[in-house]
A and B are shown apart, each in its own frame.
Chain A
Amino acid sequence: MKNKRIVFLSYVNVVIILLICTVQIYVLLENAALSRQNLAFQWYEISYKGHSLVLILGLTAIALFFLQQSFHRVLKRNAYTDITGIMNKHACLEQMSILDCRNSTLNIGLAMFDLNNLKKVNDFYGHEKGDMLIQQFVTLLRQCAEKKCFLGRFGGDEFIVILESCDNERMEALLERIHEVIEVNNRLCNIQISYAEGYAISTREHYYLMDEMLQEADKRMYENKRRMKSGTQLEMNQLSKVLDTDRLGNSERDGLTGMLSYDAFIATLEKVLKLYPKDARLALICSGINNFRYLNDLYGHKEGDNILKLFANELGKQSFCLCSARLYSDNFAFLADLSSYTEAEAEEIIRNWNTHFSALVDEAYPNSRFILKSGIYFIENLKDSPEAMLKNADCARKFSNPPYNNIVVFSEELHQSIKKRSEIINSFQAALENQEFQVFIQPKILQSSKNICSAEALIRWKKGDGIFLPPDAFVPILEQSGDIVEMDYYVYEQVFRYLYHNQLAGKFLIPISVNVSRIHLYTIENFMERIRKLHDQYPISTSLITFELTESAYIQEIHSAEQFIQKLHKMGYRVSMDDFGSGYSSLQALYPMIFDEIKFDRAFLKTNISNKEAHLLLQLIKLVKSLNTAVVCEGVETAENVSLLNQSECDVFQGYYFYKPFPLEELDDIFLSQASAAG
C-alpha cells in the first residue's frame, strides 16, 4: 500500500512540473508578442531570461526524476534478484506479504523444490559445479513456468514457485512439466539433478495464509525427500561431516595430488567404517598404473605427475568414491560405497571406471597404452583394522595381470596362496641353513639290460614339522623370487660331493643329472664360475654330470641357452633337454641339435594311450634318435608303458615302474642289491 502512494505522489509531481512548464511556455510566447511592440524592453528581456531559466530547470527536474526512477528500479531489481536470475528470498517474502495483503489468498498455489545431494556435488565436484547445477535447475524451472508465475530462490538449494489463480490440475501439470524437462536434462548431462517437491494450494476447504502455505509446502517437500532417500542410497549427515573435516585439513595431504596421506586415510577409514551399518557393501580398492615407469620415460616426469593429478581429479568426481589416498608413487587407494550393487555389478563399475580413465589418458597421450590395474577388497567386517583391509586390497592388486586381467577381487583362496607363498619365500633361507632340503635320486634304466645306468637328482623339502613339500609347491615360487639359484647350487654340491666320496672310496659311479633353472641363463658367467669352483673342490670326471635344461627355458632364452650349452660342453659336461613335448615343442628347437640327450615329457606316457598317440610317440622317438642323441622317457609307470617303449628305440627309461625317488644316501644300497642280484 505504501508503495502505491509513493508512486502516485511521484506522478503528481511530474504533472505539476509539466503544468509549470506549459505556463512558462505560454508566458514566453506572450512575451515575444509584447517585445515586438517595444514596451518596457529592458524589463521584458530580464523576464524572458528568467522564464527560460525556469523552463530549463523544469525540464531538468523532469529528466532527473526519470533518471532517479530508473536508478531506483535498477537498484530494486538488483536487491531482489538472485545470482541465478530469479527472485531472492527478500523478493519472495515481499511477494508473499503483497499477496497476504489481498482480500484473500484463495486459489494461490505455492510449490517448493529442494535439490538433493547439492552438498555432495559441492564436495566432490567443487563449488563451481554446484553453482552450475543450481543454474541449470533454475533455467529448467524458468523454461517450464508460465509467465505469470513467481519464481524465487528461497534458500541455498530451495526454490519456490507461486501461482495465482491456481488449482490442483494446473499445479500437477507444472510439476509434470518440470519432471519431464529434468529427466531429459539428466539423460544429457553427467551430473544428475534430483529434487524433492512439495506444494500447497489455498482452497475453500483448505485455506492457508501465505506463511502457512509456505510451511505446508515445506513439510510436504521434506516428506517427499524422506521417501526418496529411504528408497535410494543412505545419506548420513555425520558421514559428510567426517569427510568434510578431512577435506579441510591441508597439512595431511599429498602435495602432488591433494589426496589424503596414508595416515590420514587410515584415520578417515576408521571413522567412516564406524558410521556405516553392518550390511553396507563397502569396498576398498587399490589401483596402480601398469608400467608407469615407461610412461615417465616416454613423456617425462612432469607429464607423469600430470597423469597422477588427473587420476586424483577424476576419481574425486566419481559418485561411489568416498575418500581416496595416494599410497606411494603411482599407487592409489580409495573407499567406495557400492551398497546398492551386487558384487559382480560393483566389479563392473570399477572396471568401467578404469576403462573410462584409461580412455581419458589415451586421448591426451596417444598410444600410451595406459592400463590401470586394481585390486578390490569387499569389506566383510567393518570392525577389521583398516590396515589389514588395505593390505588385502593391495595383495589383490599385485595379483592382477595386465593386459588380460586388470581387476582382481580379493578372496580367501588368494589370501591363502599369498600366505603360503610368502611363507615359503621367508622360510627358504632358514630351511637351507637347517638342511631341510633333501636330495632325492631317481635311477634311470637302460632299455637293453634293464639295469640302472644313471640317475636324476631331485629336491624335496622336508619341513621342520616333518611335512614333505613336493617340488611343484615351492619350485615355481622360488623361481619367481630368485631363490631357486641357491637351491640349485645346494643340489649340485650334494651331488658333486657324493660322486667325489664314491670316487675316493672306489665305489661304482653312475652319471647323475641335475636340473638347471632358467634363471641361470641370465648369469652364465657366474654359473660357470660356481661350477668350476665346485669342480675344483670335488674333482670328478665332468662327464658324470648331466645338466637338464627345460624345453621352455631353452626356447625362451634360445641365444643365451646356446652359449650356456657350448660352455658346458667345453668343460666336458653333458646337457639334456628336459620336458620335451610339454610346452612349445617347436621342431626348430631340435634343429641345431646341441643336446646330448632328449628327455620326453611324462605327458606322452599317460594311461590308455590310443594307437595314434602311440604311433606318434614312436615316430617322434625315431626322429629324435636319428639326430644321434640319446632318448630318455620320463614317467614310465605301468607295464603297458614299458611294453610300448620296448618297441621303440628309446634308450633309457625313468619312472615309478622301476624306482621311486629315494634319498641320495640309499643309492649305494640299491647298487649293492642290484649287483648281488646280477651275481
Chain B
Amino acid sequence: MPLLLAEIGIPYTIVRIAGKEKERHHLESLGLVPDTVVTVVSKFNNYVILNVKGSRVGIGEELVKKVILK
C-alpha cells in the first residue's frame, strides 16, 4: 500500500520505490530504500513526516505516492 495510507505510529517496511529515476534517486538520498523500516510521525495536507533510521524526513505529496510499504 502507498505511504499515504499508512497509519501514524505503526512501523512499516518499504517494499519498493516507484516513479521515475529522478524521484527514486531523491528518495534514496533521504534513506528511503527497500527493506527499510519507517514510521509515520505525522501527516497533514498530504505531507508526511517519517522516522527513517532514527532521523526525521519530510516529503511532499508527489513523492509520498511513490513509496510503497508493506
Contacts and interface: CB of A to CB of B under 8 A. Distances in A.
Given A204-B5, A205-B1, A209-B66, 11 more contacts: A104-B2, A104-B4, A106-B2, A204-B1, A207-B1, A207-B2, A207-B15, A209-B18, A209-B19, A209-B65, A212-B18
Interface string A93-106: 00000001001111
Given A209-B18, A209-B19, A212-B18, A106 B66 contact: no
Give the interface residue-count category, chain A. 10 to 19
Interface in B18-39: 18-19
Nearest to B2: A104
A207 B46 contact: no
A599 to B, nearest CB: 101
Contacts of B15: 207
Contacts of B65: 100, 103-104, 209
B40 interface: no
Interface of B: 1-2, 4-5, 15, 18-19, 46, 65-66, 68
B19 A104 contact: no
A323 B43 CA distance: 67
A340 B2 CA distance: 49
A103 to B, nearest CB: 5
Interface in A192-218: 204-205, 207, 209, 212
Contacts of B19: 209
Q: Is the interface of A mostly helix, strand, loop or mixed?
A: loop
Contacts of A106: 1-2, 5
Given A103-B46, A212-B18, A207 B68 contact: yes
Interface of A: 100, 103-106, 204-205, 207, 209, 212
Nearest to B19: A209
14 contacts: A100-B65, A103-B4, A103-B5, A103-B46, A104-B1, A104-B65, A105-B2, A106-B2, A106-B5, A207-B15, A209-B19, A209-B65, A209-B66, A212-B18
A104 B5 contact: yes
Which of A100, A205, A207, A212 gathers the greatest number of chain B CB atoms within 10 Å?
Answer: A207
A106 B68 CA distance: 12
Contacts of A104: 1-2, 4-5, 65
A204 B4 CA distance: 12
A200 to B, nearest CB: 14
Which of B1, B18, B46, B68 gathers the greatest number of chain A CB atoms within 10 Å?
Answer: B1
A110 to B, nearest CB: 15
A100 B4 CA distance: 13
Contacts of A204: 1, 5
A100 B46 CA distance: 14
Nearest to A105: B2
Nearest to A204: B1
A105 B68 CA distance: 11
Contacts of A212: 18
A223 B16 CA distance: 24
A484 to B, nearest CB: 89
A520 B65 CA distance: 100
Nearest to A104: B2
A207 B66 CA distance: 10
Contacts of A100: 65
A209 B4 CA distance: 13
A103 B48 CA distance: 13
A221 B19 CA distance: 23
A539 B4 CA distance: 124
B12 to A, nearest CB: 11
A289 to B, nearest CB: 65
